[in-house]
Amino acid sequence: MKNIIRSYADFDFHRTIGALIQKHSENNQDIRDVTNNAIEWSRVHTILDLGCGYGWYEERLQGPFDYIMGIDCHPANEEAFLSITRTLAKKTDFISTYLPCPINVPEGYFDLVVSAYSLYFFPDMLPEVKRILNPQGVFLVITHSEAMLEEGEMFFQFKNLKKVIQNFSAENGMALLQPWFPNTRAIDYYNSLVFRKDDKEDLERYIDFKREFIAKDADPETVKNTMMRELEQRGFLRFNKNDRIFLAGP
């Protein structure tokens, strides 16, 4: 698991992959805009981002806010995260630690807690999120569908990767959230990533980004070579990128 998490340490590469995903998405609406349109921002003054990375979610926010805290296990993400959030909030903090862990704030402190493509790494964080979330606040979770693997599973078995995603997925997220957050609703974000023959370099980069996810189940180079061959033969490849947004409240 730590090797998988380590793959997010290079924030420049992570940012490049984010742009690559946007470039090859059939759904032209940024998923962050979908989430932001569903939140009542007049009630949000304090934000906590769990597994914040370089500040991917915050890139699409507009302040001002009173306080933004980011928690991530990679200290290399601190500078980028703070450079983004300092333009949005009066006060910002970055804490480098592994989750789950206690958060040193009073009960009900945060108006918005965010976990974007990260809660499957620390699903045991839910009781602490409930404690620190304002009773009128929102716990925002963005996560993958387990079907994200279906194209690759035509060639490889990704049992270990599927176990990671199943810690908190589009399919089981509601059942995991509702015991702690009875007022939970979901928004489906339907999408596919499409690569064509002249997109070989982008597909290689995308697979490289997933290297640590893949490595427990298959040799990443073998996966890459197989996908390159399929792209050449078919002329295009389409990958399931359906995600689900959860908006949870006490």
Q: Residues 240, 238, 174, CA angle at the centre, nearest 5°?
A: 5
At 139-191, the pLDDT tens digits run 999 999 998 877 777 888 888 888 889 999 999 999 999 999 999 999 999 99
State the average pLDDT for the chain.
Answer: 92
pLDDT, position 196: 96
Q: What pLDDT does residue 23 have?
A: 95
Q: What is the pLDDT of residue 160?
A: 82
- Contact of 194 with 243, CB cutoff 8 Å: no
pLDDT of residue 1: 52
Residue 103 neighbours by CB under 8 Å, 6+ apart: 48, 71, 128, 132
pLDDT, position 236: 92
- Each residue's pLDDT tens digit, 27-62: 999 999 999 999 999 999 999 999 999 999 999 999
Whether residue 129 is predicted with pLDDT greater than 60 in this model: the reply is yes
pLDDT of the residue at 250: 86
Q: Percent of the chain, pLDDT > 90?
A: 78
- For the chain, domains (ranges, CATH) are 2-249 (3.40.50.150)
Helix, strand, or coil (residue 190): coil
Question: Quick one: pLDDT at residue 11?
Answer: 66
**For 79-98, what is the mean pLDDT?**
97
